[in-house]
A and B are shown apart, each in its own frame.
Chain A
Amino acid sequence: MPARDDQDSLKRTPLHGLHVSLGGKMVPFAGYDMPVQYPAGVLKEHLHTRASAGLFDVSHMGQLALRPKSGKVEDAARALEQLVPQDIVAIAPGRQRYAQFTNADGGILDDLMVANFGDHLFLVVNAACKAEDEAHLRANLSDDCIIESLGNRALIALQGPKAEAVLAKLCAEAPSMTFMDAGPRKVAGIDCFVSRSGYTGEDGFEISVPAGDAERLAKTLLENTDVLPIGLGARDSLRLEAGLCLYGHDIDTATTPVEAALEWSVQKSRRSGGARAGGFPGAEKILAHFNNGASRRRVGLRAEGRAPVREGALLFADEPAAEPIGQVTSGGFGPSLNAPVAMGYVPLALAALGTKLFAEVRGQRLPLAVAAMPFVKNTYKR
């Protein structure tokens, strides 16, 4: 339990009062007092999201606008390409893309979403990194862009197979959006930014809403009996089953995008031989990983038994091995699979699907195997 004075120093999202009134169990997370679960509990919240629709408060995340001084969004895109290995120029108006800020060693400073809103770029970054990310943008892009922190906005995720039908009642354009469409939309008459994306592996939406309207919008969404509020506990088990990285755990400054098995997120135009190859921090190392392979790789892991294998568990090539060959970076119980799931880093020679490994849990070596991710098939509306 955190001490009282710790709790008092925690920041609150615009939905804090709603969480408390809904019986949310509040815990410190990235400097915010956040609901880890509601009375339904992590298991029911997880399964409800996969079966119906879940509402998540992700207002602790950072929202930023990158406005080109020239007035041309392509100039903001070109500027941002100096900091990420993604093709930002190619993001069409009304679309968004997953990206990473890299450092000079080819490591990952943060992962983020970048949307093209026509006249500017809209960024969503991790809560724990948002101050550093904003400073990084200001230090590097201020010649070309005005960097605007949108701290006056909340962010609500609506995820699950019924998310479209729920949102359609408040936003007639929602059903016509496809995966990774993003842009300004009116929701319940409120000027929002809506994207068709999320962090659960399910179809769904993320809705950026002015802080003052956030509680009204959340309550309106929750009036629909298909929607339950979902805490951070189920958010983590959902993203783990979806094989999605959690920054600071599965990816960090010591992992390159290639080691992290995120090659799919780096477009050909930024790789060797591409139209705008390199030109991002750590390009030399990251492109070498693309061209020659990296010595280790993030993989999915399925345990043979029922015991969850959690973050930090050491991995071994065989049961009696003295030296670990890798480590679990995220792990727990997957409610939809009714089985433990994990991900971690292993040497490339042991990264093939089906490779048998052992994880050390409480002094015992438990058998597991390298498995394909996502563990649960995603249901994005493409």
Chain B
Amino acid sequence: MTTTLYTSDHEWLAIEGDVATVGITDYAQQQLGDVVFVELPKVGRTMKKAEAAAVVESVKAASDVYAPVTGEVLETNAELAAEPALVNSDAQGKAWFFKIKIADKSELGGLMDEAAYKAHTA
């Protein structure tokens, strides 16, 4: 059973057990435009909630992707690093950035469900 939640900074988290797969939303990629580079965190790094975790760069500008929860990076998406344009073609699918082991599930309480996120970006 996968639950998808969203941050106000336009990250999505697909949660299975205590692992969250993290990416940026389709809304975010539309705002960014053509993505030409992503920088992913190192596997094994422990990140605090709201810490800069990854970088996504369009032709024009660089933007941070923040850790939506505290935890350890378990895996990063090598396919995305090799083909950053996946962010534009499949932001909420193939273009996941990293998987993180959730340290404290109570942090999920502050996140939005899909309906709330839709309202946030409306």
A interface residues (Cβ-Cβ under 8 A, vs B): 36-37, 41-44, 46, 233-234, 236-237, 306-308, 310, 332-333, 335, 340, 362
* B residues 45-85 touching A (CB-CB < 8 Å): 55, 57-62
With A42-B59, A233-B59, A335-B59 as contacts: A37 and B37 at CB distance below 8 Å:
no
Instruction: Determine if B36 and A333 form an interchain contact, defined as CB atoms under 8 angstroms apart.
Output: yes
How near does chain A come to B6, taking the closest CB pair, in angstroms?
19
CA A333 to CA B33, docked complex, whole Å: 13
Which residues of A lie under 8 Å from residue B34 when comparing CB positions?
41-44, 335
With A42-B59, A308-B62 given, name 13 new contacts (CB 8 A).
A41-B33, A43-B33, A233-B60, A234-B59, A237-B60, A307-B39, A307-B57, A308-B37, A332-B60, A333-B36, A333-B37, A335-B36, A362-B39
With A236-B60, A310-B62, A332-B59 as contacts: A42 and B33 at CB distance below 8 Å:
yes
With A308-B37, A333-B36, A333-B37 as contacts: A43 and B55 at CB distance below 8 Å:
no
How near does chain B come to A100, taking the closest CB pair, in angstroms?
27
CA A294 to CA B23, docked complex, whole Å: 48
Chain A proximity mask over B6-46: 1 for CB below 8 Å, otherwise 0:
00000000000000000000000000011011010000000
Nearest residue (CB) in A for B52 is A362
Which residues of B lie under 8 Å from residue A310 when comparing CB positions?
61-62
How near does chain A come to B23, taking the closest CB pair, in angstroms?
19
CA A43 to CA B61, docked complex, whole Å: 13
Instruction: Determine if B59 and A43 form an interchain contact, defined as CB atoms under 8 angstroms apart.
Output: yes
Which residues of A lie under 8 Å from residue B62 when comparing CB positions?
308, 310
How near does chain B come to A148, taking the closest CB pair, in angstroms?
36
Interface size of B by CB at 8 A reads: 12
With A42-B33, A42-B34, A308-B62 as contacts: A333 and B39 at CB distance below 8 Å:
no
How near does chain B come to A39, taking the closest CB pair, in angstroms?
10
How near does chain A come to B115, taking the closest CB pair, in angstroms?
23
How near does chain A come to B9, taking the closest CB pair, in angstroms?
14
Which residues of B lie under 8 Å from residue A237 when comparing CB positions?
59-60
How near does chain A come to B29, taking the closest CB pair, in angstroms?
11
Partner of B59, one of A46, A306, A307: A46
Instruction: Determine if A306 and B55 form an interchain contact, defined as CB atoms under 8 angstroms apart.
Output: no
CA A42 to CA B34, docked complex, whole Å: 7
Write 14 A-B pairs (CB below 8 A) sorted by A numbering.
A42-B58, A42-B59, A43-B36, A233-B33, A237-B59, A306-B36, A307-B37, A307-B57, A308-B37, A308-B57, A333-B36, A333-B57, A335-B59, A362-B39
Nearest residue (CB) in B for A42 is B59
Nearest residue (CB) in B for A233 is B60
Partner of B37, one of A236, A306, A335: A306
With A233-B59, A236-B60, A335-B59 as contacts: A308 and B33 at CB distance below 8 Å:
no
Instruction: Determine if B60 and A362 form an interchain contact, defined as CB atoms under 8 angstroms apart.
Output: no
CA A310 to CA B59, docked complex, whole Å: 10
Which residues of B lie under 8 Å from residue A333 when comparing CB positions?
36-37, 57-59
Question: Which one of B33, B34, B55, B61 has the highest number of Cβ atoms from chain A below 10 Å of its Cβ?
Answer: B34
CA A332 to CA B33, docked complex, whole Å: 14
CA A335 to CA B34, docked complex, whole Å: 10
CA A37 to CA B34, docked complex, whole Å: 11
Which residues of B lie under 8 Å from residue A41 when comparing CB positions?
33-34
How near does chain A come to B87, taking the closest CB pair, in angstroms?
12
CA A46 to CA B59, docked complex, whole Å: 10
Top 9 A-B pairs ranked by shortest CB distance?
Answer: A43-B34, A333-B36, A42-B59, A333-B59, A233-B60, A41-B34, A41-B33, A306-B37, A308-B57
Nearest residue (CB) in B for A37 is B33
CA A41 to CA B34, docked complex, whole Å: 7
CA A362 to CA B37, docked complex, whole Å: 14
How near does chain A come to B40, taking the closest CB pair, in angstroms?
12
CA A150 to CA B57, docked complex, whole Å: 39
How near does chain A come to B10, taking the closest CB pair, in angstroms?
13
CA A53 to CA B90, docked complex, whole Å: 29
How near does chain A come to B59, taking the closest CB pair, in angstroms?
4
* B residues 68-111 touching A (CB-CB < 8 Å): none
Nearest residue (CB) in A for B60 is A233
Nearest residue (CB) in A for B58 is A42
How near does chain B come to A303, taking the closest CB pair, in angstroms?
10
Which residues of B lie under 8 Å from residue A308 when comparing CB positions?
36-37, 57, 62
How near does chain B come to A332, taking the closest CB pair, in angstroms?
6
CA A233 to CA B32, docked complex, whole Å: 12
Question: Which one of B36, B37, B58, B61 has the highest number of Cβ atoms from chain A below 10 Å of its Cβ?
Answer: B36
CA A42 to CA B58, docked complex, whole Å: 9
Nearest residue (CB) in B for A306 is B37
How near does chain B come to A46, taking the closest CB pair, in angstroms?
7
